[in-house]
Amino acid sequence: MSKVNIFKPVEQKSRSAAPAPPTDSAAFHAVVDSRRSVRVYADDPIPESVMEACMDAALKAPNSSNLQTWEIHHVVDAAKKAALVEACLSQPAAGTAPELLVFVGRPDLWRRNNQWMLEAFDRAGTVPESAYQYYRKITPLVYDQGAFGWRTPFKWWITRWRGLRKPIPREPIGKWGMRIWAHKSTALACAQFMLAMRAHGFDTCPMEGMDSARVKRLLGLPRQAVVTMVISAGKRAEGGVYGAQQRFDRKHFIHRH
Ligand SMILES: Cc1cc2nc3c(=O)[nH]c(=O)nc-3n(C[C@H](O)[C@H](O)[C@H](O)COP(=O)(O)O)c2cc1C
């Protein structure tokens, strides 16, 4: 097999010729500007088709290595919902919401999804060798932390040593690094879900004010799973948003270099 440089652009025949579709920036900003965290919901239900469309939108979020190590647990069972509200410390954003979802990162499932990717490539039949190499060589190197994390100290030292001379990807290192890694992509799915809800005229509230151990037990999740956030959804009640949106001056956060 010839040596393939996965960081070189793929050959022309493997690229999409489709032009970027036109978009409506005003509609997008109307969605962004009207999204607020809602603490009190009206009783209006959300149509199932809207829930499905918004969850599908969430799953289209960009994600690391396209390994999609996330899950959305839509809690519809009344008893489980009540238990989830309790695990969310009975806060009104959970208690008054017609819909509750838990967004979960699954760093433990990277290998399964990596295999799915290779199988999808086989089915497509037109995938360049560099893509195969990425999922056969690079992802195991980057994401495999070894049983009980035995590779962690080696990765840490090798990364520091090799990084002295040239740029290298440094994260994720260790089991905690993998958790952060999964949280990043899952959080993007959360954002995409909340914006999709708003685009359909509904509202949301992200919550990390919850007992993640209880949430995991309720959903039957393994130890390695990470609860990125619980998101409630519904139609905002009158007065369901607390005050005007408050943001600090953008000069503190946007830096030009
Ligand atoms: C990760 C995360 C956790 C949050 N947890 C809670 C929560 O537990 N309860 C709550 O009422 N709001 C929660 N929020 C909502 C924030 O308080 C809210 O986004 C922030 O005050 C800005 O208001 P806005 O979303 O209306 O712009 C959370 C938001 C994020 C992103």
pLDDT in tens, 123-138: 999 999 999 999 999 9
Q: Which of 98, 130, 163 is the last residue of a domain?
A: 163
Q: Is residue 94 part of a domain?
A: yes
pTM: 0.95
Q: Is residue 8 part of a domain?
A: no
Distance 190 CA to ligand 1 centre (A): 12
CB of 57 closer than 6 angstroms to any ligand 1 atom: no
- How far apart CA 189 and CA 183 sit, in angstroms, is 10
Q: Which residue has tokens 């509200």? A: 85
Cα separation, 93 vs 39, in Å, equals 4
Atom of ligand 1 nearest to the CA of 210: 8
**Nearest alpha carbon to residue 134 among 209, 65, 198, 194:** 65
Amino acid at 26: A
Q: Is 70 exceeded by the pLDDT of residue 1?
A: no
201 and 143 assigned to the same domain: no
Work out how many domains the chain is built from and give that number: 2
- 2 has a pLDDT exceeding 60: no
Cα torsion angle, 33, 34, 35, 39, sign: positive
Q: What is the CATH number of the domain that holds 90?
A: 3.40.109.10
Instruction: Give the distance (Å) from ligand 1 centre to CA of residue 66.
Output: 27
Mean pLDDT of 53-64: 98
Give yes or no for residue 13 having a pLDDT over 90. no
Rounded percentage of the chain residues whose pLDDT exceeds 90:
88
pLDDT category at 191 given cuts 50, 70, 90 is: very high
- Ligand 1 pocket mutation, candidates 37, 39, 89, 198, criterion most atoms within 8 A of CB: 37
In the structure, what pLDDT confidence band is assigned to residue 16 with cuts at 50, 70 and 90?
Answer: confident
Position 59 scores a pLDDT of 98
Count CB-CB contacts under 10 A for residue 35: 17
Confidence class for position 148, pLDDT limits 50, 70, 90: confident
Residues 105 and 142 both lie in one domain = no
Do 97 and 118 share a structural domain? no
Same domain, 102 and 122: no
Q: Is residue 71 part of a domain?
A: yes
Query: In this structure, are 88 and 202 located in the same domain?
Result: yes
Edge to edge, what strands does the sheet with 226-234 contain?
70-75, 99-105, 226-234, 203-207
Residue 249 half-sphere exposure, CB side, CA atoms within 13 Å?
2
Determine if ligand 1 sits within 6 Å of the CB of residue 227: no
Residues 48 and 141 in one domain: no
Range 179-195 average pLDDT: 98
Q: Is the CB of 205 under 6 A from ligand 1?
A: yes
Domain assignment of residue 226, yes or no: yes
pLDDT in tens, 61-93: 999 999 999 999 999 999 999 999 999 999 999
Task: List pLDDT tens digits, range 221-233.
Answer: 999 999 999 999 9
Same domain, 116 and 223: no
Establish whether residue 235 lines the binding site of ligand 1, counting it when its CB lies within 6 angstroms of any ligand atom. no
Range of the structural domain that residue 151 is part of:
111-163
Residue 18 forms part of a structural domain? no
Same domain, 82 and 115: no
Minimum CA distance residue for ligand 1 atom 7: 207
Residue range 188-196: average pLDDT?
99
Shared domain for 44 and 101, answered yes or no, is yes
Whether 20 maps to a domain, the answer reads no
Atom number in ligand 1 closest to CA 38: 26
Give domain status of residue 4, yes or no: no
Q: Write the CB contacts of 111 (distance below 8 Å, at least 6 apart in sequence).
A: 143, 144
Are 104 and 40 contained in the same domain?
yes
Does residue 31 lie in a domain region? no
Indicate if ligand 1 lies below 6 Å from the C-beta of 219.
no
**51's tokens:** 């829930």
Q: Please tell me if the CB atom of residue 33 comes closer than 6 angstroms to any atom of ligand 1.
A: no
Check residue 10 and report its DSSP letter.
P
Percent of the chain whose predicted confidence (pLDDT) is above 70:
98
**Residue owning the nearest CA to atom 27 of ligand 1:** 36
Distance 204 CA to ligand 1 centre (A): 10
Mean pLDDT of 49-60: 98
- Asked whether residue 120 falls in the same domain as residue 103, the answer is no
